[in-house]
Structure 1
Amino acid sequence: MSLKFRRIILGVGAIALLSVGVMAWQPGSDGYRQANAATDYQQLQKFSQVMEMVRQAYVEEVSDEKLIEGALSGMLLSLDPHSTYLDKEMYKQMNVDTKGEFGGLGIEIQSAEGGIRIVSPIEDTPADRAGVKAGDLIIKIDEDLARDMSLMEAVKKMRGKPGTSIMLTIFREGENAPLEVKITRAVIKVNSVKSDMLAPGYAYLRITQFQQPTVQLLSKQIRELKKRAGGTLSGAVLDLRNNPGGLLNQAVAVSDLFLEKGNIVSTKSRAGKSLSFDAEPGDILQGLPMVVLMNNGSASASEIVGGALQDHHRAIVMGTKSFGKGSVQSVVPLNDGTAIKVTTALYYTPSGRSIQATGIDPDILVEQVVLKRDEEANKRASNSVSEANLKGHLANGNGKKKKVKEEMGEGPSEVMQERLKLDTQLQRALDLLRGLHVLRG
């Protein structure tokens, strides 16, 4: 039996087998099922015919595996930007990513018209240090046009041996010409939770990604900040800016830390069971004022947290509109070590809002303004004169009082003090917390 004849037999057998599977899943009347089965058979027959023609006539010999994987990749890519086929290498790497250590540049990306869109650079990674920003459009990777690549092809090209470099050509809104950014690859260890004091009594909590240990790290650092504050906090900022998302269960657990009761998030799907996640009693901050900072780099799991705290009026959301990724992807492993990631549901906040393509609108809109250190202004401020500077001024009669720092515990680190000078959104968040604390008495 010739090779060609065997392939035709196999192709027809696959068509027959798939057709039986399709028929078994078709709803409705027998006539409806039969009509759809006939259409499906014709489409599968067309696929088999094209595949056989490529085998026979393409300028180079192509393996059946490559053709099938290309077909699967194209099929999923045609659905939406987040559905994709994962070959063995990508599936293995995806499992490593969620544990917080992987190699590459440190950016979250998605497919876009004309190239690859950067959802968010991950904090303290090569891409972040190189100045890459959320919303940048990658139009070239080295000398290759990004518009000609699938998302997985772009990921493969950007990942590589630590220490090697890559050139990204990006288009940034507001710039007159494309920018070339050279980035050196590194083994990226993402510390998903960071914390500090904004001022005595006011906690700063930063989540860069939602990974397996996130909620445990966050709980631990809140307890440590309470000790630094002398046992009592006055308020907290939860910074989710440029957080591209991550694991759903960690987003739910983080939301639950600050909520006493009520729904956190629900999902609705066309097939399969819709899910709903509710909070359990216990607010780790015991109702203290909270501000959540978000921007257009806040996506997916970070939008779940922001939406839940906003809908329950547990926190004030400040900053700019979030990214708007409100879809659920299910990863289905296949027998040969590959997998598919397919969009199966949409997220809904406790009030029933869909995040998809709308995002979270802040309660208080605060655009990020780039500030520069003004040494002259600082010098003028330090040279200002008040009553206390006048020789022979009268005492105020209040007597000596403890400093606020002694009453409330430690203040911000030097790094945080420098950051506060330049981060206008963080400044406004701290101002708001102080105002809320005064109103609460």
Structure 2
Amino acid sequence: MTIFSSPLRKKVIAASLALCFTPALLAAETTAQNAKAPLPLQEIRQFTDVYAAVKAFYVDEKQTGDRQLLENALAGMLSGLDPHSAYLDKEAFEEMKEGTEGEFGGLGLEVTMDASGVLVIAPIDDTPAARAGIRAGDIIVKIDEQATRAMTLSENVKLMRGKPKTKIRLVIARKGVDKPLNFTITRDIIKVQSVKMKELKDGIAYIRISQFQEHTADDLAKYLIDLNKKNHLKGLVLDLRNDPGGLLNAAVGVVSTFIDKDKVVVSTKGRTAEANRSFLTRPSDYLNFDQSPSSDWVAKVPKEAKTVPMVVLINAASASASEIVSGALQDHKRAKIIGQQSFGKGSVQTVLPLRPLDGGEATTGIKLTTSRYYTPNGRSIQAKGITPDIEIADTAEGNYATFNIREADLAHHLKSEEEKKAFQKKQKEESEKQLDDAKQPELRYFFGDDKDFQLQQAVKILKGEKYITGFEKKPEVTKENPKKTEGQTKK
């Protein structure tokens, strides 16, 4: 997903699994490939006709400057390709280059664009948006009385940003709620703690990763080392629910803590030679650009971390890096994946700086989808997602009525016809199932608390006990059967 409001990382000019290939080599290869193709003269003539008409007749002359028109043309060209390709103006380009290592200003939302407005992929833990009650799947219809549908994603994100302690009004559409919801939220400087740990009973640990940042793998490794010293590393639940992704090398580092060295984590395939490569569980593929091998905490993880029984929790808002991690652990049969099908963001974006006319340093660029990524067994996640080994509902009473919008629902998403047909069939089945169970579960909880139904079932699965999925059909209440039962349990 395109995440302009996500943490921006130092020396990484890309967001949400954007791999930074060398622009000069990529451009040279692309130029060579296109050298034989004739120029589309008819289409170019049509473009110049439209350009001239706008310059001559558009009602507001202030909006017809050459630079503005050309930037609008570039933005339209890229946004029409897929939801993740985009033109980066000066401000967006600088934000990509200047990292803040997990600290940024705003509301704490991971968002993308939808036909109805701005789609919330996930609220980030412990942020103003999360505390206000914004949920994954919500559609932001208005921002301070301005309709989001009429603006680009970048324009909407700029509206949501602002000085800390200032207020912003959001109008939100939510599935299962008849009327629009109004939220007034106070902006803040958000420091995201990407890894949190909680010790459970019987030697089982719960570790939640809310985003993949520069220090995520090291922080995870430190927790595992500490747990092993306490002799508490006997079972592990890794929670990736509502984790929208982040840095690729962080995802590789997380997988490297749990499986042996030099195993494939993910591979990428595209049209150019640089877009085709594999990422393995080795320091060269997970260390940060400025990190020395001596500070590699992943390499210090005890061997028990690679054998401890493990369950991974995912849901429809688990995307990108989350899917790389869960897909790799699933393919290597290292962990049991439970929860619900993930988002399905399986494409890689490359940031290409644009050469300025004066020959100076680039101040703008484009973010272009250049390849798809694949799990170790060669599965494409794009518009499909990771299918859990065991499907567990949000609660014992079934799922919450959320939008459950995934990559395949986004306009212009990257797809093949075969993928499209298969996923549309599955989406139809899921929609019918949701309609059959429209009643809202009464249970509400936060990830990792004592009421977390999916976590409770994960612990039972680790211990080999009976568990329930939340999808069991319960007997109807009648005179002959006045009491509801808990339904069938599984083992």
Shorter-chain TM-score category? 0.7 to 0.9
Cα distance in 2 between the residues matched to 1:253 and 1:360: 19
Corresponding residue number in structure 1 for 2:451: 422
Cα distance in 2 between the residues matched to 1:185 and 1:417: 22
Cα distance in 2 between the residues matched to 1:92 and 1:209: 22
Against the structure 1 CA distance between its residues 178 and 159, is the aligned structure 2 distance closer, same or farther, given a 3 Å change threshold?
same
Cα distance in 1 between the residues matched to 2:97 and 2:389: 36
- In structure 2, the gaps of 5 or more residues are 1-28, 283-298, 356-361, 398-444, 466-491
Identify the match of residue 26 of structure 1 among 31, 34, 45: 34
Against the structure 1 CA distance between its residues 434 and 420, is the aligned structure 2 distance closer, same or farther, given a 3 Å change threshold?
farther
Letter in structure 1 aligned against 2:321? A
TM-score (ref. length: structure 2): 0.69
State the shift of 1:246 in Å. 0.5
**1:31-430 correspondence to structure 2 within 5 Å:** 33=37, 36-37=38-39, 40-59=40-59, 60-61=61-62, 62-96=64-98, 99-227=101-229, 230-261=230-261, 262-273=263-274, 274-280=276-282, 285-335=305-355, 336-369=362-395, 419-430=448-459
Larger-Rg structure? 1
Cα distance in 1 between the residues matched to 2:346 and 2:147: 29
**Deviates further, 119-128 or 51-60:** 51-60
Letter in structure 1 aligned against 2:136? A
Letter in structure 2 aligned against 1:46? Q
Cα distance in 2 between the residues matched to 1:132 and 1:343: 29
The answer to whether the 8 A contact 1:98-1:247 is kept is no
Give me the CA root mean square deviation. 2.4
State the shift of 1:272 in Å. 3.3
State the shift of 1:278 in Å. 2.2
Identity %: 51
The answer to whether the 8 A contact 1:420-1:427 is kept is no
- In structure 1, the gaps of 5 or more residues are 1-20, 372-415, 437-441
Higher relative contact order (CA 8 A, sep 6+): 2
Letter in structure 2 aligned against 1:312? H
Against the structure 1 CA distance between its residues 298 and 96, is the aligned structure 2 distance closer, same or farther, given a 3 Å change threshold?
farther
Letter in structure 2 aligned against 1:269? G
State the shift of 1:343 in Å. 0.7
State the shift of 1:23 in Å. 8.3
State the shift of 1:98 in Å. 6.5
3-state secondary structure, aligned to 2:266: strand
Letter in structure 2 aligned against 1:198? L
The number of residues matched between the two structures is 362
Against the structure 1 CA distance between its residues 104 and 193, is the aligned structure 2 distance closer, same or farther, given a 3 Å change threshold?
same
TM-score (ref. length: structure 1): 0.77
Cα distance in 2 between the residues matched to 1:344 and 1:110: 19
Corresponding residue number in structure 1 for 2:463: 434
Against the structure 1 CA distance between its residues 304 and 220, is the aligned structure 2 distance closer, same or farther, given a 3 Å change threshold?
same
3-state secondary structure, aligned to 1:237: strand
State the shift of 1:226 in Å. 2.6
State the shift of 1:27 in Å. 6.6
3-state secondary structure, aligned to 2:273: coil
Letter in structure 1 aligned against 2:313? L
Corresponding residue number in structure 2 for 1:379: none
State the shift of 1:95 in Å. 4.0
The answer to whether the 8 A contact 1:214-1:250 is kept is yes
Deviations 1:300-327 (A, max 9, x none): 0010000000111100111111111111
